[in-house]
């Protein structure tokens, strides 16, 4: 791929690997002039700009990564600061990059295959380019990981932010600051979003009554659940279900 990209804020984590040609990458106030064999990292939320050289425009391949844990995984590497690197000397990294493109052509269980390769790729990045951050920062990163895992396993139960803080033996305010700094949202907002996402799945794919769907994601009061759902999705649970059922019938 060869192109010129306007300045914008990145929505995904991405790695671009330059196959040939040259170009410029700008991020975090730094400017890099890159060429064949080099790669550059784009972290989610970063304001970036990259442009192909006019005389020798680059051709590159890229990997896109998204998900609530990607930012944390990338922060385990030194690339969040250096931003550029080479695959030279690390054939397994380049092989993972190439295997992701091959996996995209698969039809059966493609998502599982791509995720397995992506996690290997992230492991190799962290192994070859480790972040030498202080132990205290690493501990804070581990707290965030524990919060994500705890919520994923218990969001259907009536847990609160205080329950999560108690589980980690942390002060609630401290946990709030660390989590929001790492994830960009509060623990409460992430917990709410996870419950609403699960409710959407139930409303689209089952015929469960609204009150049962509400209880399935920890809300005993169906009216309160409907209010929260409307705030997040701008439609009521019933309207959401009808809209997606009509869409499925049309398809």
pLDDT at 248: 53
pLDDT at 249: 52
Q: Is 234 left (phi over 0), alpha (psi -120 to 50) or beta?
A: left
Phi, psi angle pair for 160, to nearest 5°: -120, 170
pLDDT at 107: 67
The DSSP-derived string for 5-51 is EEEEE-SSEEEEEEEESEEEEEETTEEEEEETTEEEEE-TT-EEEEE
The parts of the chain modelled with pLDDT lower than 50 are 2, 135-136, 251
pLDDT at 234: 93
CB 149 within 8 A of CB 141: no
pLDDT at 69: 73
Instruction: Identify the structural domains of the chain with CATH numbers, from first to last.
Output: 4-128 (2.60.120.280), 133-251 (1.10.10.60)
pLDDT at 135: 47
């Amino acid at each position: 791929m060869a192109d010129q990209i306007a300045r914008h804020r990145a929505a995904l984590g991405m790695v671009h690997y330059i196959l040939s040609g040259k170009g410029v990458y700008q991020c975090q106030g730094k400017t890099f002039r890159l060429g064949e064999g080099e790669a550059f990292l784009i972290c989610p939320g970063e304001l970036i700009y990259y442009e192909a050289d006019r005389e020798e425009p680059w051709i590159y391949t890229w990997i896109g990564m998204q998900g609530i844990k990607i930012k944390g995984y990338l922060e385990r590497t030194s690339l969040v600061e250096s931003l550029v690197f080479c695959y030279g000397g690390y054939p397994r990294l380049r092989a993972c990059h190439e295997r992701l493109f091959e996996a995209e052509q698969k039809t059966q269980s493609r998502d599982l295959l791509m995720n397995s390769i992506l996690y290997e790729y992230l492991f190799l990045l962290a192994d070859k380019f480790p972040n030498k951050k202080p132990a205290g920062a690493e501990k804070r990163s581990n707290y965030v990981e524990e919060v994500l895992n705890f919520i994923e396993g218990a969001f259907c139960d009536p847990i609160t932010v205080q329950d999560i803080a108690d589980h980690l033996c942390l002060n609630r305010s401290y946990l709030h600051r660390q989590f929001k700094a790492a994830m960009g949202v509060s623990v409460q907002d992430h917990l709410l979003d996870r419950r609403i996402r699960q409710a959407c799945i139930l409303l689209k794919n089952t015929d469960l009554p609204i009150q049962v769907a509400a209880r399935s994601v920890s809300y005993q009061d169906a009216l309160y659940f409907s209010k929260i759902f409307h705030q997040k999705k701008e439609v009521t649970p019933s309207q959401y279900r009808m809209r997606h059922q009509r869409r499925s019938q049309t398809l």
